[in-house]
Amino acid sequence: MEHTKNYFELFTLPVNYDIDLSDLNSHFRTLQKAVHPDNFANSAEQERLYSVQQASLINDAYNTLKDPLERAKYMLVLNEIDINADDIKKLPPEFLMQQIELREQIEHAQDSKDIDLLDSVSEQILNLFKEKTSAISELFAQNDVDLESVAKRAQEAQFFSRMKESVDTIILDLED
């Protein structure tokens, strides 16, 4: 397998935010089958190592492309924009207020051990995440893509993703 320029090329997919996940899955299975370390168990050490490296690359690429937020972040990186960098423009005050309000709801629900409220907040956060990824899709679909707007929406989606993970962890802890 030759080294490819990017994850999309690895899976022979066009560089596009909206991808066919069934195509991605199909290409993933084909590639993994071709480089699976079990196929190289009796090969030379160098070939076994190469197989493990390629399998790891394929897994990383697959996990990136199947996740809408990670795919957006990756596409931004391809355009030399890193939303994790410190120099990203500040988020709007309304968004930050929304974050504070959601965190207060989470804290209240956690303190009162109200799993139903936490479930409701988790659903609300998931819907907000989906709104951001939908906006990202719409932005990438434009002929003249505004990458700064994509980065802003991706950064906001990242906040919701992390917040959802936090709420889900709290729910699991309370259920134990």
Domain ranges (residues) in the chain = 7-66, 93-175
Q: What is residue 160's three-state secondary structure?
A: helix
pLDDT digits (tens, 9 = 90+) for 1-46: 555 579 999 999 999 999 999 999 999 999 999 988 777 777 788 8
Q: How confident is the model at residue 89 (pLDDT cuts 50, 70, 90)?
A: low
Phi, psi of 81 (to 5 degrees): -125, 125
Which residues does 113 contact at the CB level (< 8 Å), separation at least 6?
174
Asked if 72 and 17 touch (Cβ cutoff 8 Å), the reply is yes
- 53 — alpha (psi -120 to 50), left (phi > 0) or beta? alpha
Token pair in block for residue 112: 């009162």
pTM: 0.87
pLDDT averaged over the chain?
90
**7-66 placed in CATH 1.10.287.110:** yes
Q: How confident is the model at residue 84 (pLDDT cuts 50, 70, 90)?
A: confident
Predicted confidence (pLDDT) at residue 88 exceeds the cutoff of 60: no
Asked if 71 and 83 touch (Cβ cutoff 8 Å), the reply is no
The confidence score (pLDDT) of residue 26 equals 96
Q: How confident is the model at residue 85 (pLDDT cuts 50, 70, 90)?
A: low
**93-175 placed in CATH 1.10.530.10:** no
Asked if 13 and 19 touch (Cβ cutoff 8 Å), the reply is yes
> Does 84 or 83 have the greater pLDDT score?
83
> Does 112 or 50 have the greater pLDDT score?
112
